[in-house]
Amino acid sequence: MLHISQPLKLKGITLDNRFVMPPMASAKSDNGVVGQELCAYYDEKSQDGQFGLIITEHAYINTEGKASLGQLSIADASCINGLSQLVSIIHKNGAKVIAQINHAGCQTSKEITGKETVSASTIRLSEKFEIPHALSKDEIKNIVEDFTNSAIYAKEAGFDGVEIHSAHGYLLNQFYSPLTNKRADEYSGYTLEGRVRIHLEIIESVRKNVGDEFIIALRLGACDYMEGGSTKADSVKAAVMFEKAGVDLLDISGGFCGFINPQIKEQGYFAELTKPIKEAVSIPVILTGGIVDGAVAEELLATGQADLIGVGRAVLKDSLWAKKAIDMK
């Protein structure tokens, strides 16, 4: 039976416990750059090695993919020095750290990026957003290259790995969801193989450029919970494909353009997704979803719902939450 305080070996590193601080946008960067405020924030959250793993907030891979003001950048080599400072602080405090890399797709605006928004198809997420430009195949190749370059920058900054973001309605999730992918080419929204093609291309390119020991994680919006959207069955098949392509860690979320399960409210509400995925793959699976009680986290691990437990909002309220949960065990 797994326990929160049990270490986990992941590639060439060891996580000291099973708690993960998931990526949560802080809007504390200064025009994309790591500054004193962001460093202080991660220093506070990572104190005493209370997290085995910290996944830093989503960083944009190019200016077209910037989701919001105050978002962190990993779009060019000038970011490396600041990111290195962040990594040093987190490592000093005893945690391992991976960088979440992201492209907003059409979940942004020209006001933020200065550019036309893009997506898999000309489907806008809601009336709040603009109608996007459907990416050409050449533009998709450029995005694969930008994800790859960002992974290289993360490695040079000293991160233990990267997490490719395909959840919460951002670009890769827009390809994965049949609600927003209406393409009829090889990235087709009408087959699972088409919907994950860009993911597999990114994984292959990243792995080729960062080597075998650098961790590649993927955050998947595993179920849209909407008619005509992605399903649990889809996610199990996709997870197997991602593992085969070279992913080392799966971070499971859900909900179209959000991160809630409208059908289940109790703590660990994405366990219905993580359990069948965990049973289908041999790589570790992270479960995040409304967990505020250490005993619940322990139970979710002990009953095989996941390999790692992500705790977000509880840690925003109390920076010592994870330490207290481990000490109370």
Residue 170 among the catalytic residues: yes
In angstroms, rounded to a whole number, what is the distance separating the alpha carbons of residues 288 and 22? Answer: 8
Q: From 59, 86, 99, select the one nearest 75 (Cα to Cα).
A: 59
Q: H or E segment at 161?
A: strand 161-166
Active-site residue, from 170, 187, 225, 269: 170
Torsion of CA 163, 46, 320, 257, to 10 degrees: -20
Helix/strand/coil (H/E/C) assignment for every residue in 179-244: CCCCCCCCCCCCCHHHHHHHHHHHHHHHHHHHCCCCEEEEEEECCCCCCCCCCHHHHHHHHHHHHH
> In which region does residue 246 sit, left (phi positive, over 0), alpha (psi from -120 to 50) or beta (all else)?
left
In angstroms, rounded to a whole number, what is the distance separating the alpha carbons of residues 66 and 110? Answer: 10
What amino acid positions are annotated as catalytic residues?
170
